[in-house]
Structure 1
Amino acid sequence: MEISVIVLLVSFVALLLINVPVSISIGVATVLAMLFTIDFIPAVTTVAQRMGGGLDSFALLAIPFFVLSGLLMGRGGIAARLIEFAKVLVGMVPGGLAFVNIISCTLFGAISGSSVAATSAIGGFMIPTMEKEGYDRNFTAAITVTASTTGLLIPPSNILIIYSLASGGVSIAALFVAGYLPGILVSLGLMGGCAIYAKINNYPVGRLPKARELVTKTFDALPSLFLIVLVIGGIVGGYFTATEASVIAVLYALFLSVVVYREVKVSDLPEIFTKAVETTAIVLLLIGTSTAMSWMLSYENIPQSISNALMHLSDNPFVILLTINLILLAVGIFMDMTPAVLIFTPIFLPVAVSLGMSPLHFGIMMVLNLCIGLCTPPVGSVLFVGCSIAKTTIARLIKPLLPLYAAMFIALLLVTYVPAISEFLPTYFGLYGQ
């Protein structure tokens, strides 16, 4: 291995260990590695150019708008309405509140595009509510943490936009549609685990809702749920692109939050806009520095070396894909999703394609894999938020998380080895191959 690559890896890990922000760690490590190849000024200039080039994409314009729409929906009273809607759907089955938690997190995560926002908004209400009904607090927090990640598969999803950039242009519309069935599959897997747990622990069963209550709660939630229909329907129907859809999502979320639900005041908008700018800046800095590191690795032929090593590991595609998944799981434990997608897509995508996997299928597999990392220690952002809301510790959450990890891993294997789960809907809507 080249000395520059060793410097890159060692410096990156060392910077993370002393709590340097991930984006800064990636950028500094890349510059240090390049100093072993070229002089300081050319090294810094090259990194800056690669960062700028990584951000020079029209598709990335969708990210700030989807971030803003998510913040508006998060402050706009959406969570409470989705929870009430989920209650009338599944609250009467054994372990019904656990199902309500999962459905609410999935829907809110999909609408807001943020797993952290889903954990905060849904967990803030559901964790104490479920505890009052006799559910274990740690188990409740574990449900919230894992279920919140499913929203990253169901559009609008910023991470799928980033994968489109990293893969060289896989259709965002196709990726958006492809994420539905895998996201639902993960939710169903989590529900299965919760049903068994609820039966063993004899958790309470909710009452059957009255017809009028069912209609009322459904009607209250419809405006929020319509955002998904509006965005995806418009993209699939060819009325607008994903970037244009992000602007429409902002306008709709603004109208819903300020005019319809009246949960957001006009005086709150400057704060929300500022938060959206801050979040976008963090994401774009990650994209820029990760693109530079990815270029550095490609310059040193690391993707080709890893590809050759994997192809010589076994002649069995099952074994190679399992190995890729295990590596990505390990990466997800220690690295945020955005740099992981940008750095490792150029490394593993050629291997997957050589095995007959489509770039669309690989993207969904990769995002689902990294979703597991969001709820695993030591750096899982969603896990930390869930612990904070539940006022518990990571150590206490590990035991109830284990069966939920197992459910997510089984879903991952199904998505990996059954291409139709990811490819059926894009094919049905004529988006496959775009």
Structure 2
Amino acid sequence: MTLLASLMLFGILGILLLLGVPIALSIALSSVLTISLVLPFDVSIITAAQRLATGVDNFTILAIPLFVLAGTIMNNGGIAFKLINLAKVLVGRMPGSLAHTNVVGNMLFGSISGSSVAAAAAMGRIMTPMALRQNYSRTYTAAVNIASAPAGLLIPPSSMLIVYSLVSGGTSVAALFMAGYLPGILWGLAVMAVAYVYAKKRKYPVSEKISWKDRAFIAIDAIPSLLLIVIVIGGIVAGIFTATEGAAVAVLYALVLSLIYKQLKVQEFKTIFKETIEITGMILFLITASSLFSLVMSYTGIPSSISESLLSLTESTIVLLLIINLILLIMGTFMDITPAVLIFTPIFFPVITELGVDPVHFGIIIAFNLCIGNITPPVGSVLFVGTSVAKARLEDVIKMLVPYFIVLIIMVVVITFVPQISLFLPGLFDLL
């Protein structure tokens, strides 16, 4: 029965995706058809309906639309320019300095907005004209922007890690947030290393020297934007408020700050709320559909069956982790991050539990792998947004991205087999 259910569940899902059916509908339909295999039709329909209704009935999930709203306010509130100016101060004297500014800007803005797509779009619109004026290649500029945008998904606050916390049975959000810092920074440094080699080879210019007086002014000007991270993450880690309450604080802080900067007009609120509702609706539908998917897998014994199959292949923890990484890398190229987290976490969680891998560490492994998929064809949303914003040719950008892919895959292996990279900060703050 388990084998038949597996073939039916994943077979129908694959067929629907190939036919172009939206992924949330594909997940829900394949789940309903599979559960009807093991339960009477009327019972399966009632069970599916109840699960779809209760799949988002969780207080922690409220953090997601609130962080999305905070990020949307920031996108329209002039905060990106403050962060780009700060990034220039930090890396402006390196060869290819605008590229490094783009990377640091994506790390800062992506972490605050919580969206790699928003970061790629915002940074691309600002950095591309500046880079072209200094004779940077359009393809090079697009590749750097695309490759660095997902770094902000690892650096908290991160909706992706909140989703993982829910599916993994309540892994500490605070621990996951702290665990994401060092891998996110390493992602950015890896991209900067490749960008540096390209810049050195092509003799791209260094930005004009900024006086210490101007540096101090720019740094002070960016402090209010950076304080958002300090207040929200600090409050969550210190136990002052939950992730959901922290998200509400982020919305209020972003709104007040944007009004102070006078970059946010009253008529823009309609667009802000519309964007928030669209993104939130998509994410919540994916979560509730994937909740049904997880129920079907659990009821038919698919995760335990896959776990037993993987564990029977070899007793080597190294080999099993490499297999899991490979599967996540491949599937990440075909699926968006949220549904992939929702589907593969319950599949692999029994395996990593058996191997003794810390759930916090595994959350970062999943996140890092799927972030790479966010910038690879055929489904990488950041790849297409970044290419479109830069008005570059897709095939040229993909060729330019190959060295970045190689370096990031190496980083996946390092993070997988050096768990202290992920666990050092959570351990330091006694969150494990």
Match of 1:252 in 2: 253
Match of 1:162 in 2: 163
Cα distance 1:310–1:3, how it changes in 2: closer, same or farther (>3 A)? closer
1:50 & 1:391 partners in 2: Cα distance? Answer: 43
Offset, 1:2: 3.1
Amino acid in structure 1 at the alignment position of 2:170: G
Contact 1:186 1:407 in 2 (8 A): no
- Classify the secondary structure of the residue corresponding to 2:379: coil
Q: Which runs of 5+ in 2 are unaligned?
A: none
Q: How does 1:12-91 map to 2 (within 5 A)?
A: 12-91=13-92
Offset, 1:270: 2.7
Match of 1:307 in 2: 307
Contact 1:150 1:187 in 2 (8 A): yes
- Classify the secondary structure of the residue corresponding to 1:292: helix
Q: Is residue 344 of structure 1 aligned with residue 344 of structure 2?
A: yes
- Classify the secondary structure of the residue corresponding to 2:205: coil
Amino acid in structure 1 at the alignment position of 2:59: F
Match of 2:177 in 1: 176
Shifted more, 117-126 versus 7-16: the winner is: 7-16
Contact 1:290 1:339 in 2 (8 A): yes
1:277 & 1:291 partners in 2: Cα distance? Answer: 20
Shifted more, 32-41 versus 193-202: the winner is: 32-41
Q: Is residue 353 of structure 1 aligned with residue 353 of structure 2?
A: yes
Shifted more, 212-221 versus 390-399: the winner is: 390-399
Shifted more, 134-143 versus 418-427: the winner is: 134-143
Match of 1:288 in 2: 288
2:163 & 2:99 partners in 1: Cα distance? Answer: 32
2:92 & 2:116 partners in 1: Cα distance? Answer: 23
Shifted more, 386-395 versus 75-84: the winner is: 386-395
Measured against aligned partners, the alpha-carbon deviations of 1:197-225 in whole angstroms (never above 9, x if no partner) come to 11111111222210111011112211111
Measured against aligned partners, the alpha-carbon deviations of 1:18-70 in whole angstroms (never above 9, x if no partner) come to 22211111111111222333343322222222222321211101111101000
Cα distance 1:351–1:4, how it changes in 2: closer, same or farther (>3 A)? closer
Contact 1:160 1:175 in 2 (8 A): yes
1:420 & 1:402 partners in 2: Cα distance? Answer: 28
- Classify the secondary structure of the residue corresponding to 2:37: coil
Match of 2:379 in 1: 379
Q: Is residue 368 of structure 1 aligned with residue 371 of structure 2?
A: no
1:287 & 1:225 partners in 2: Cα distance? Answer: 30
Offset, 1:351: 1.1
The alignment's TM-score, normalised by the length of structure 1, stands at 0.96
Offset, 1:188: 0.7
Q: Is residue 211 of structure 1 aligned with residue 230 of structure 2?
A: no
Offset, 1:123: 0.7
Cα distance 1:128–1:18, how it changes in 2: closer, same or farther (>3 A)? farther
Contact 1:116 1:385 in 2 (8 A): yes
- Classify the secondary structure of the residue corresponding to 1:377: coil
Amino acid in structure 2 at the alignment position of 1:375: I
Contact 1:122 1:144 in 2 (8 A): yes
Amino acid in structure 2 at the alignment position of 1:92: R
Contact 1:62 1:247 in 2 (8 A): yes
1:55 & 1:134 partners in 2: Cα distance? Answer: 49
Offset, 1:130: 1.4
Offset, 1:196: 1.2
Shifted more, 46-55 versus 290-299: the winner is: 46-55
Measured against aligned partners, the alpha-carbon deviations of 1:290-332 in whole angstroms (never above 9, x if no partner) come to 1111221222221112111211222221111011000001111
Measured against aligned partners, the alpha-carbon deviations of 1:230-270 in whole angstroms (never above 9, x if no partner) come to 10111122211111100000000000112x11111122223
Match of 2:192 in 1: 191
Amino acid in structure 1 at the alignment position of 2:143: A
Shifted more, 210-219 versus 6-15: the winner is: 6-15
Amino acid in structure 2 at the alignment position of 1:104: G
Offset, 1:81: 1.4
2:355 & 2:80 partners in 1: Cα distance? Answer: 42
1:393 & 1:292 partners in 2: Cα distance? Answer: 40
1:2 & 1:75 partners in 2: Cα distance? Answer: 50
RMSD: 1.3
Match of 2:423 in 1: 423
Cα distance 1:229–1:15, how it changes in 2: closer, same or farther (>3 A)? same
Match of 2:327 in 1: 327
Shifted more, 228-237 versus 101-110: the winner is: 228-237
Amino acid in structure 2 at the alignment position of 1:408: L
- Classify the secondary structure of the residue corresponding to 1:36: helix
- Classify the secondary structure of the residue corresponding to 2:17: helix
Match of 1:98 in 2: 99
